[in-house]
Structure 1
Amino acid sequence: MSEHRAGGRLDQPREPRRIRLPRFNPEAFGQWSEAIARYMGTAKFLVYMSVVILLWIAWNTLAPASLRFDPYTFTFLTLVLSLQASYAAPLILLAQNRQADRDRLGLEEDRRRAEMQKADTEYLAREIAALRIALGEVATRDFIRSELARLADELVEMQRRRTPVRTLREPYDERDSD
């Protein structure tokens, strides 16, 4: 009997193995990079970095030769600062890209709100214009008073025309008073 190998059969080709990279949450990584970029842009970071560099240089120039770990040209310090800069630049760019995305979304929201406000303003302007036109057709208090006074004058005139003036020669009849 034949034994099976742990790697599979020898008469069949192997399936290509996929390289499994670690997975990470892009949002969490972006927040982390923004936090680092924000910290690197503070005066606190600059002061701490300056103190570390000054201590580094002071130790490697003033300490006994046997305790110095980076001689005068400070090659290791240059390497550390280059490494820090090579990681800081992409993190800062990532943070700037995320900020640009947020700004773009904010601008789109502002544009949408401005369009809505413009539409609301135009609607209100049309409504006010319609109210002004309607008020132009509505009778005002002075107009109604003048019309009532004119009608009262017409009624008095009509009443005067209907009642004949009595002369002294005509006898008075009680039925006329009804």
Structure 2
Amino acid sequence: MPTGVHLRDVREQLFDAAERVLLRDGPSELTSRAVTTEAGCAKGVLHRHFPDFDGFLAELVEDRIARLGHTALRESAGTGTVADNLTEALTSLFTSVAVAMVSLITFRDELRARLRRTHPTGVPLLTEATAMVADYLTAERDRGRLKENADVHTLAPTLIGAAHLLFADRKGTPPEPEAVHRMVTTTLAGVLARD
């Protein structure tokens, strides 16, 4: 690796390599050596920028949480249909590395312990995705597209959990968009005011 590479470039290179290993080989094969080999750099590069491997993984998860697209979903409120907006957001979330990240968090005790410092409840990434969906549903309820009594704080985790189950087999074929849409419309059937 050339010297003088900006820290952010190295971090992104290592994060992207970790995602590729995680998606291809699963959490049990995600090691510092696998990441640096995938990134095409010396193992010491990772340890020069992160305190240890679990510290690296914690920062990777935090970085990916920051990329969830919270603003984009919120800004879609009032446009298109509620079901279409949620179908697109959930498909985008779960066809990304999110399912593999949840497996990684579950698989590594030390990573989970570190993430508990900033995310004391729930499964990081899924908890933030749930908040993102609840925020969107609140905006749609405020616009009158969901019934006034719609319990967004029950609907959001229901949608996230059901979507996670649809996408959970990371090696299998992802569900068809129609299956995701059907799950969303079924979940929202009693609360849609108009769409």
Same fold by TM-score greater than 0.5: no
The one of the two structures with greater contact order (alpha-carbon pairs below 8 A, sep at least 6) is: 2
Give me the TM-score of the superposition, normalised by structure 2: 0.24
User: Which structure has the larger Rg?
Assistant: 1
